[in-house]
Structure 1
Amino acid sequence: MVLQNFIGGEFVDALGDGRLDVVSPTTGEKVAVSPISGPADVDAAMDAAANAFTTWKRTTPSERQRMLLQLADALEANETALVEAQHRNTGQPRQMIADEEVGAGADNIRFFAGAARTLEGKAATEYLAGHTSYVRREPVGVVAQVTPWNYPLMMAIWKIGPALAAGNTIVLKPSDTTPESTLALARVAQDILPAGVLNIVLGDASTGELMTEHRVPSMVSITGSVRAGKAVAASAAKNVRRTHLELGGKAPAVVFADADLPATAQALVEFGTFNAGQDCTAPTRVLVQDSVHDEFVDLLAEAARATTTGDPDDAKNYYGPLNNARHFATVKEKLESLPAHAKVVTGGKPAGQAGFFFEPTIVAGVRQDDPIVQEETFGPVLTVQPFSTESEAVELANGVDYALASSVWTADHGTAMRVSRDLDFGCVWVNTHVLLTSEMPHGGFKNSGYGKDLSLYSVEEYTRVKHVMHALGED
């Protein structure tokens, strides 16, 4: 099966000759062939989006709301097709896709449908005598968007929801390893959105570069690696394009001695291995007070040993495979190249005979400058470091280049308030981790990028502010 682009409301064959295989991470076998879209394909998608923008930007918020609500209902009605399309490319358990991406995605879309009608500006008044000023919030125009492979459907929804609510049109490229659920989303939207409002082009990094360097987009939004984000920012800068970057994380979980240690250990292993640890917000660095360090390492190891991976159709398995062979090899190499002072307490190697499965892994004895502490592993791997004081905990937590997410685990309200204030991350959870809601913003600082997904803040990301002043004339 050769996949097609979705341009101008129709599924069309790519014009270029490039092809790449889409492989099931569960079996390692080919499940589809994807085109590598070239300049002509990107031109066609951008032209379709630009043409559609001339009318889409004139739609009222209530009209956009109505279509987004229809899209949310259609997502739920087509749950099976969306789940199967994604499962082929990710190997994620089907129920997880249904709950965390289709169900949650429909909720996200419904939120953005409501948000379309809430944007407002400053009051219209006479800031200058004889002149009335007001502010218009307008869509930025055509938006080029690039999504990752860890949550393909959810990331597409996080991109298109606020952009459409604000009145923009879209050209989106999904990851080359997980294109099918995004195409399934386009099929669901085909009879709801006007032609050209949403366009999907398939391809690899070269296709993404064509999109970000293209003359048409007014904004580029990407969720991906720091390397990819820097490349996008540099490319967009050539044409002075706005950028929105969500570039990963290395989240600390700061565990104080007064926390409920067994419950905390269980929760951190569950959050840290969910989706095989392929989550930018996953608690990958466990910082635990030294008086309970050894006890907590044992509790983490116990929870990890009880967590299983393997066939996603077997309900006993908590998570599925890593997404692709290249990433699987990278995670494996990180564990094989640990410094001598680091100790793999449990796990640390591939699981099973086929596919890209990896054991839940706990690594103790690491130091702050170790690569496994400083660099994103993006696998079911948690490292453990001790701290003695609150200030040391904060220093260790903040001592990485990422700043997306973090958590504090304590029974003391004052400790939670102080540490959450001092942690330099876009999100701080207290006695929980990973959980997100449509109403609250998601996005980081430092090398984790800038801009917000979810919430009204994300809709504002896709708008521009215009000042209009009227001379009142003679009284």
Structure 2
Amino acid sequence: MDFHIDRSEEGSVMGRPVLTTMQPAAAVLPRLHTAHTLADASLHLAASENFIKVVDAYWETARTAQSEWSTWRIQDRLKVLRRLRMAVAEDPRALAKSVHRQNIAETLAAEVLPLLDACRFLEGEAPRILRERTIGGRGRPKWLWGNSVVLRPEPLGVVLVIGPSNYPMMLPGIQGLQAIAAGNSVLIKPAVHGTPSIQHLLTLAKSAGLPDGVMQVLPEEPEAAALAIRKGVDKVFLTGSANTGRAVSHELAESTTPCVMELSGCDAVFVLEDADLNLVSDCLLLGLTFNQSQTCMAPRRVFVRHKHADELVRLLKAKLENRVRSVLDQQQAQDGSSASTQPAGVRFSAPATRRDRMQEQLIAAAVQQGAELVVGSLAGGSCEDQIGVVVLDRVSSQMSIAQKDLFAPVLSVIRVESDSQALQENAKCPFALCATVFGSRASCHELARRIPAGCVVINDMIVPTADPRVPFGGRLMSGHGKTRGQAGLLEMTHLKAIVATRRWFKPHLHQPTVADSEVLEHLIRLEHAASPLQTLKALPKMIRATIQQVQLRSKSIDFLQERSTQGTRS
């Protein structure tokens, strides 16, 4: 199976389908117009062959560079990362401007700062995480006494990172830094419009001393990723939608290439009995507006008790209206226009020129099934005029909108009677990326342990997960494996076990005897007795069986030596 960009879905959201299936004959062709003539077809084929050669060259360079890079001491590799971090810190705005986003402050906060923090984390923690270590004797079976075990994390080789469009520099950048810190070379396939920022980062890395070929930027076309996979990368790290994950998994299955997939979310917010509703509404406002809510861990479902739901919805609606007024005032100040006639409370951003049809249908269906549209609008029974944030109240978990990976500022308020019911309703959603819990610290921790999610944030939203120590990854349809933190760094390695045995005591190499089964039987009783008394009872039986085994082996050796002597005489 091959995958390509569906142009109607690309460029803005990670949660929408980015990769879809196509016929194998056109699998790896670059983005060209349809060939209507024989000459056009020849040009199309030539371009295809050149595209394949380009990706092959990237792969060959990466493989060659990795063999040398992996021999560098970890301290020397991290010196390159430190110089890179210092270079970015000298002019962070330059890197931020290379990202395809208008808001520089948001880019500095969401892309540059987390990247540098992750880099510093590697500088300080990678030597400890990646060091070779010897396991102690605790847990070693008695019959394997003398065994020593060394665990050695080793580089994977060539790693492919497929980046998303919502955080086009930070997410693939952090994964790329972890890859090279672990001794790999890395091929980064950026999202649409993601090349400039990754290329800028690569230029700085080379200036910091990163050897050529250790990090390379592939073309943005998904065919580049498909070709790299078929050429033979050692692991794939994908951040994308569930549909993308399925398509890439199918491609990886052919070669059983391992992968880490951080996929879509439909993240839940749990509002406990003692939650601060003002704090909850502030955090929901952030989640619905930060990066246009194009964040995989942005809130999509809120579980709140009936008696608190009205107040929470009122607070959130009022804060959204205030945000709209603030945005409109800023726009008016910038362009000198007269006061806007847009109705406050239902508008947040500029009118969308293209809407996701699935989103439109899901919102309309939810309203038809009894949900209440408290923020947003449905003009003419559709969402064509819908602008910005949508808040639906009285949604049920059975509704499709509460079970889909919408990558847009759409929030469903689900009313419940208890925390247990909230957990039951949450389980009806197939996605389990992140969750947020609001309430007293003790109550939040208790509930957090029961929530099936890769990460649970308490009394905050999104921002705390930028901590470079936090591993990130989902469950169920939200993916598998981890990125970032210690777990993410270890995902960039293969764990090798080196086992050394005692020199002289190797009874398994001796001649078999009829007493072997009895020895093994008493050994099992000795090792796994239910009580110390039973262990003592098994010990003399074990000794007698072992003596018998030794005697039989001695007789066997004498017999074999005698036969050997007779054979020599004859």
Smaller-chain TM-score range? 0.7 to 0.9
- What letter corresponds to residue 89 of structure 2 in structure 1? E
CA contact (8 A) 1:348 1:360 kept: no
Q: Residues 369-426 of structure 1, C-alpha deviation per residue, up to 9 Å, x if partnerless? A: 2222111111122111100012101112232111111011113x44323311111011
Structure 1 contact 166–462 (Cα < 8 Å) conserved: yes
Q: Aligned pair 1:71/2:84, yes or no?
A: yes
- Contact 1:312–1:320, Cα closer than 8 Å, also in 2: no
Structure 1 residues without counterparts, runs of 5 or longer: 1-14, 21-34, 351-355
Structure 1 pair 443–315 and aligned structure 2 pair: CA distance change class (3 A): farther
- Please tell me whether the aligned partners of residues 348 and 388 of structure 2 are also in contact (alpha carbons under 8 angstroms): no
Q: Counterpart in 1 of 2:175? A: 159
CA distance in 2, matches of 1:165, 1:135: 18
Residue of structure 2 aligned with 1:110, choices 103, 120, 124: 120
Structure 1 residues 28-79: Cα deviation after superposition (integer angstroms, max 9, x where no partner): xxxxxxx999322211111111000111111111011101111111222242
Among 123, 131, 138, the residue aligned to 2:134: 123
Cα pair distance change 1:313/1:181, threshold 3 Å: farther
Matched, 1:408 2:424: no
Once the two structures are TM-superposed, the CA of residue 101 in structure 1 deviates from its matched residue by 1.1
Give 3-state SS (helix, strand or coil) of 2:296's partner.
coil
Equivalent position of 1:208 in the other structure: 225
Name 1:432's counterpart in structure 2.
Answer: 460
Asked whether the equivalents of residues 438 and 455 of structure 1 are also in contact (C-alpha less than 8 Å), the reply is yes
Distance in 2 between residues matched to 1:357 and 1:75, nearest whole Å: 39
Amino acid at match of 2:284: L
Length-normalised TM-score, structure 2 = 0.70
1:185 equivalent in structure 2: 201
| 3-state SS in 2 of match to 1:90 | coil
1:466 aligns with 2:496: yes
Give the direction of change, closer, same or farther, for the CA distance of 1:332–1:135 in structure 2 (3 Å limit): same
Task: Name the CA shift for 1:42/1:345 in 2 (closer, same or farther; >3 Å).
Answer: same
In the TM superposition, residue 365 of structure 1 has moved relative to its aligned partner by 2.3
User: What is the CA–CA distance in structure 2 between the aligned matches of 1:312 and 1:335, rounded to whole Å?
Assistant: 29
Single out whichever of 229-238 and 115-124 deviates more from structure 2.
Answer: 115-124
Answer yes or no: is 1:367 the counterpart of 2:380: no
Q: Secondary structure at the match of 2:323?
A: coil
279-288 vs 341-350, which moves further: 341-350
- Report if aligned partners of 2:274, 2:439 keep a CA contact under 8 Å in 1: yes
User: Contact 2:30 / 2:223 at 8 angstroms: preserved in 1?
Assistant: no
Shift of residue 211, structure 1, vs aligned partner: 2.4
Higher relative contact order (CA 8 A, sep 6+): 1
Classify 1:81/1:444 alpha carbon distance in 2 versus 1 (closer, same or farther; 3 Å).
Answer: same
How many Å separate the matches in 1 of 2:373 and 2:264? Answer: 24
Question: Is the 1:335–1:348 contact (alpha carbons within 8 Å) kept by the matching residues of 2?
Answer: no
Q: Which amino acid aligns with 2:206?
A: Q
Q: Deviations over 1:442-466 (max 9, x none)?
A: 1111111111122111111011111
Deviation at 1:327, TM superposition (A): 6.5
SS at match of 2:128: coil
- 2:481 is aligned, of 448, 451, 457, to 451
Provide the secondary structure at the position in 2 that maps to 1:422. Answer: coil
Confirm or deny: 8 A CA contact 1:275 1:320 kept in the other structure: no
Residues 17/251 of structure 1: CA separation in 2 closer, same or farther (3 Å cut): closer
Instruction: Select 1:298's aligned residue among 294, 304, 314.
Output: 314
Contact 1:72-1:106 at 8 Å conserved across structures: yes
Partner of residue 81, structure 1: 94
In the alignment, structure 1 residue 220 sits paired with structure 2 residue 231: no
CA distances 1:78-107 after superposition (whole Å, capped 9, x unpaired): 422222221xx333x111111221122111
Aligned pair in 2 of structure 1 residues 255, 462: CA closer, same or farther (>3 Å)? same
Cα shift at 1:245? 0.5
2:287 match: 271
CA shift in 2, pair 1:199/1:312, >3 Å: farther
Q: 1:207-227, CA deviations, whole angstroms, 9 ceiling, x for partnerless residues?
A: 222222322x11011000111
Structure 2 Cα separation of the partners of residues 41 and 320 of structure 1: 41
Letter in 2 for 1:202: P
**How many correspondences in the alignment?**
436
Match of 2:451 among 423, 428, 437: 423
Distance 1:145 1:348, change over 3 A: farther
Q: Any idea what SS the aligned residue of 2:264 has?
A: coil
Q: Counterpart in 2 of 1:307? A: 323
Question: With structure 1 as the length reference, what TM-score do the two structures score?
Answer: 0.83
Give yes or no for contact 2:395–2:415 (8 Å, CA) kept in 1.
no
Identify if the C-alpha distance between structure 1 residues 299 and 464 changes in structure 2 by more than 3 Å, giving closer, same or farther: same
Whether 2:273 is the aligned partner of 1:257: answer yes
- Which amino acid letter does the alignment assign opposite residue 71 of structure 2? R
Name the residue aligned to 1:395. 424
The 2-side partners of 1:376 and 1:117 are apart by 38
Q: 1:284 aligns with which of 282, 288, 300?
A: 300
**Shift, 1:316, TM fit:** 9.4
Secondary structure, counterpart of 2:412 in structure 1: strand
* Bigger radius of gyration: 2
Is contact 1:147–1:156 with CA below 8 Å preserved after alignment?
Answer: yes
Contact map agreement 1:143 1:171 (CA 8 A) in 2: yes
Following superposition, the deviation at residue 307 of structure 1 comes to 2.2
Distance 2:503 2:107 in 1: 61
1:185-226 CA-partner distances (Å, limit 9, x unpaired): 1222222210000010122222222222322x1101100011
How far the C-alpha of 1:266 sits from its partner, in A, is 1.9
Match of 2:264 in 1: 248
Task: Give 2:559's aligned residue.
Answer: none
Match of 1:95 in 2: 105
Helix, strand or coil: the match of 1:279? coil
Match of 2:514?
none
C-alpha contact (below 8 Å) 2:29/2:223 kept by paired residues: no
**Partner residue of 1:442 out of 446, 469, 472:** 472
2-structure distance, mates of 1:320, 1:112? 38
How far does the alpha carbon of each residue in 1:126-146 deviate from its partner, in whole angstroms, 9 at most, with x for none?
864566442221011100110
Q: Indicate the larger mover: 331-340 or 71-80.
A: 331-340
Letter in 2 for 1:116: A
Contact 1:321 1:357 in 2 (8 A): no
Check conservation: 1:373, 1:383, Cα contact below 8 A: yes
Does structure 1 residue 144 correspond to structure 2 residue 160? Answer: yes
CA distance in 1, matches of 2:213, 2:160: 13
Once residues 192 and 371 of structure 2 are traced to their aligned partners in structure 1, the CA distance between those partners, rounded to angstroms, is: 35
Secondary structure at 2:231's aligned position in 1? Answer: coil
Q: Residues of 2 paired with 1:65 and 1:94: CA distance?
A: 28
Larger deviation, residues 217-226 vs 112-121: 112-121
Q: Which amino acid aligns with 1:109?
A: C
Partner Cα separation in structure 2 for residue 415 and residue 143 of structure 1? 41
- Aligned-partner Cα distance in 2 for 1:394–1:417: 14
